[in-house]
Structure 1
Amino acid sequence: MTLLDVVYYGFIAVVFIQVFFYILFFGKFAFIKPIKESHKNTGVSVIVCAKNEAENLQDFLPSIIAQNYPNFEIVLINDASTDDTLEVMEAFVAQHKNIKIVDVKNIEAFWGNKKYALTLGIKASKNEYLLFTDADCKPLSEYWIRDMCSHFNDDINIVLGYGAYSKDKKSFLNKLIRFETLVTAIQYFSFAKVGIPYMGVGRNLAYTKTAFFKANGFVNHIKVRSGDDDLFVNQTATKSNTAICFTENSFTESKPKPTFKSWLKQKRRHISTAKYYKTHHKVLLALLYCSQLLFWLFAIILLIATFKWYIVVGLFLIKFIIQYTVFAAASKNLGEQDLIILIPVLEVFLIVAQLTIFINNLISKPNYWK
């Protein structure tokens, strides 16, 4: 058997792996409609942790204050900011009775640890239902709280939402960031739908205070400075206690990073937590990424060598037809349809970026919470 034979059979294998994921995993999310649960109007605490976010709070906090929900408080956590964040928070408190401030000072044991600040904010909250977002996020609807928290019941104590990024039609980086966000969302929604939830994003995530303290909060990964969202979900989420929410009214939107360098720095922090996931999650995610990388690598080698090119082209087309079908449906669910036409280009760039981040993380530790 020649080297090209090995590559050829390897290519067939990774195509089957890819098709397996698209049909049996991603298809479970792509072809469902969002469930609109009955509205319970139970008390909700919206928690926003901010470190040097004075400008963003002024821009985005009003959209949380304006939520059309009868019973909610806003817990603003000032995590040892050195700018005017605390002053901005105090100005909002003076105008709105349902806002409280948790002013966190740095202490040596938890220096610069967002999880410590969040824990203090959670303890200060008065409601059982907790809804989290970031200081640079805004809900895209006045019914964000209503839709996200309508999924809570006696069994469901974790709700995964979608945190989008604002669009810039002229920027390729913007499309790449949004594509990565879309792919990640399709993955965590799909895995949750098939009963193996593994992560959520802090830009739009809800869980109960009871679930938080039952899991001992962030204690099990408190020394891992990132991962206040995905590691907590990975630790506590199960098939029976987790719901997904992707109604149009439930989305939040953030400002994407303006440069490749700042985006790669952000993703280094995010990806660094994956090694702490449960073993079966790591195996599935590694299998998915390796199959994507090897698909392109093997396809290029075989097509350059014109080795059984007609079969290679056929398998290539089959994979992309299935991928386009699934991603088109999933992107419609999440309002990201404009990205679909660029899937091959964006996928290649994303694979290269992720490989670069992985290598950099092996060489040096990424920076953490501001």
Structure 2
Amino acid sequence: MFILDTYTIVGSAILLFVALLTSFINPFFRKPKVSKPFGNDIAHDFHEENIENETEIENREIEIENIEAETENIEAQKDTENLVNSTVSANKEVQNKIPTPPISLIFTPNDRAAAFSKNIEKYLNQDYPNYEIIVVVPQDDTETQDILKTYANNPRLYTTFIPTSSKYMSRKKLAITLGVKAAKNDWLLMCDIFCAPQSDQWLATLARNCTDDVNLVAGYTTYEEGTSDFWRFEHFLTSCYLMRAAQRGIAYRWNSKTLLFKKDDFIKAEGFRGNLKYIRGEYDFLVNKYAAKHSTIVENSWSGILVEEEPIYKHWINNHLFYMENRKHLSRNFAHRALFNLDQIALHLNYLMILAGLVYSILTQNLILIIAACLALILTLSIRIAIGKKALTTFNEEIPSWKIIPFELRIIWQNLGYKIKYWRADKYDFISHKL
């Protein structure tokens, strides 16, 4: 029945207001900025625009006389050639001003011979003037060493080894430290060999950010096609928080596999001192320790990203469990968690209010309140799907629109599952048993 009283009006207004407000308390609405295109990206964008312009010109020429069409076509071609030449010249001038500092890439493959064999060529063939690749491998990893022998004559490649006696610290962090000491350049790039660049401009794209007022350059990593949609969604959601924190103030940690930092900073602050015993979290600890306010650049343009191979389930779970241990030892943890918790409270509070309003209105047969609750639900779903899809599309994450809402609701329960696994785990599994 129609009941139009003060309680109905106020209740309906609250439901609609909360639905609108909480839909925008959303990490996808606050999505990070996208880096400007670089190199081939610019040429690709110009080529597409040029094709569209030529198509429009051709459609208009059909309507005019043949002689005039030929004349205009010649003029249009001249204009196009001039535009292309001026664009190329401008791009060359811009690229000449782009920083190209010498860079040392550090790889620490451990039982990753297959990935090393698959991806190393993509790193060796980067279109960049001055860089070296340092590979730090365990002395007992003979398979990777055999692959390295095939590149023994490559002047860019340098190999060093982890001593077998190192048992009381994270071998990954020790390997990185050895790579840092072996590097001859000040700018160091840490990434994982199971990730692959999609362009020979990858290194140049990252290096353009290496200016005097920057001490960290953090690159974005996405997962390869075929990876679980939820894993990709969760990774992107976390990346939104981390990229935005780095862009708007001071970086907290990093969940992607590309990080440029300075050798001098690493040596002066004694590298991983203070967290060497924690087996994982090298990207998190480096960013958390060395990030300063407004000194971290996020590079997430297409040519600057890495594509990571799909992790096995055990590795995916372990990454979350190790983070739950490591975050206890990270600075700025409370502020970062507070924003995530606020988003989750807003998300679930809205749905609970809609559900409560719908149940109450049905029990009281209040048709107006039923309509208001249904409208609030429609607004919530429509706005959140639209915002989420736009953010995902911006970063080329192809996740179906209908999965966005279920995935958003799943996040908090998935985190609870990780938390239960962490509580049940042996805490000595997260450290290297340093005495």
TM-score range with shorter-chain normalisation?
A: 0.7 to 0.9
- What is the CA distance between 1:266 and its match in structure 2? 3.0
Distance 2:27 2:350 in 1: 19
Q: Indicate conservation of the 8 Å contact 1:60/1:137, yes or no.
A: yes
Q: Show the counterpart of 1:34.
A: 36
Contact kept, 8 Å, 1:161 with 1:200, in 2: the verdict is no
Match of 2:242 in 1: 188
Q: CA 1:18 to 1:223, structure 2 compared with 1: closer, same or farther past 3 Å? A: farther
**2: distance between equivalents of 1:292 and 1:73?**
44
Moved more, 81-90 or 218-227: 81-90
Query: After the TM superposition, which residues 100-249 of structure 1 pair with which residues of structure 2 at under 5 Å, given as runs?
Result: 100-108=158-166, 110-168=168-226, 174-201=228-255, 203-249=257-303
Determine the C-alpha separation between the residues in 1 that align with 2:176 and 2:16: 46
Q: Give CA-to-partner distance per residue, 1:52-93, whole Å, 9 cap, x none.
A: 11111001111111111111100111145545122222332x
Query: In structure 1, how many angstroms separate the alpha carbons of the residues matched to 2:334 and 2:419?
Result: 14
Q: Report if aligned partners of 1:15, 1:319 keep a CA contact under 8 Å in 2.
A: yes
Deviation of the 1:216 alpha carbon: 2.3
* Whole-angstrom distance in 2 between the partners of 1:220 and 1:111: 11
AA partner of residue 278 (structure 2) = V
Alignment partner, residue 340 of structure 2: 288
How big is the shift at 1:119? 0.6
Deviations 1:4-24 (A, max 9, x none): xxxxx999889856734548x
Q: For the residues of structure 1 that align with 2:275 and 2:258, how far apart are their CA atoms? A: 21
* 2:80 is the alignment partner of 1:19: no
CA distance in 2, matches of 1:101, 1:369: 27
Q: 1:59 aligns with which of 118, 130, 134?
A: 118
Aligned 1:68-83 pairs, distance under 5 A = 68-79=127-138, 81-82=140-141
- In structure 2, the residue matched to 1:356 is 417
Maintained 8 Å contact 2:219/2:256? no
Q: List, as ranges, runs of 4+ consecutive aligned residues in structure 1 with deviation greater than 6 Å.
A: 9-15
Report the 3-state secondary structure (helix = DSSP H, G, I; strand = E; otherwise coil) of the residue aligned with 1:68. Answer: coil
* Structure number with bigger Rg: 2
The amino acid across from 1:88 in the alignment is I
Letter in 1 for 2:249: G
Q: What is residue 327 of structure 1 aligned with on the other side?
A: 388
Cα offset for 1:313?
Answer: 5.0
| Deviation of the 1:368 alpha carbon | 5.6
Q: Secondary structure of 1:356's partner?
A: helix
CA RMSD of aligned residues (A): 3.2
Q: Deviations over 1:243-293 (max 9, x none)?
A: 11111100111111244x4422333223432222224x4333244146426
What does 1:255-274 correspond to in 2, within 5 Å?
255-259=309-313, 261-274=314-327
The residue that corresponds to 2:404 in the other structure is 343
Does 219-228 or 312-321 show the bigger shift?
A: 312-321
User: Which amino acid counterpart does residue 207 of structure 2 have in structure 1?
Assistant: C
8 Å Cα contact 1:147/1:250 also seen in 2: yes
TM-score w.r.t. length of structure 1: 0.83
Paired with 1:309 and 1:138, the residues of 2 have a C-alpha distance of 52
TM-score (norm 2): 0.71
What secondary structure does 2:173 align onto? Answer: helix
Distance 1:288 1:201, change over 3 A: closer
Contact 2:19 2:377 in 1 (8 A): no
Contact 1:129–1:149 (CA<8 Å) still a contact in 2? no
Q: Secondary structure at the match of 2:108?
A: strand
**Is the 1:134–1:202 contact (alpha carbons within 8 Å) kept by the matching residues of 2?**
no
Q: Quote how far apart the aligned CAs of 1:157 are.
A: 1.2
Alpha-carbon distance, 1:361 to partner: 1.2
Q: Deviation per CA, 1:148-197, whole angstroms, max 9, x where unpaired?
A: 111011101101111111011xxxx6211111121122111111122132
Cα displacement string for residues 302-360 of structure 1 (whole angstroms, at most 9, x for unaligned residues): 52771466555555555555544443343233221435442112223333222111221
Letter in 2 for 1:72: Y
Give the match for residue 5 of structure 1: none
SS of equivalent to 1:138:
strand
8 Å CA contact 1:197–1:237 kept in 2: the answer is yes
1:239 to partner: Cα distance: 2.6
Kept in 1: contact 2:107–2:136 (CA 8 A): yes
Q: Distance in 2 between matches of 1:324 and 1:45?
A: 42
Over the matched positions of the two proteins, sequence identity in percent amounts to 21
Amino acid at match of 1:154: D
Distance in structure 1 (CA, Å) of the matches to 2:265 and 2:24: 36
1:310 and 1:210 mapped to 2: Cα distance? 64
In structure 1, runs of 5+ residues without a counterpart are 1-8
1:140 positional shift: 1.0
Q: 1:214 to 1:12 in 2, by over 3 A?
A: farther
Q: CA deviation at 1:198?
A: 1.0
Matched-pair contact (CA < 8 Å) for 1:11–1:298: no
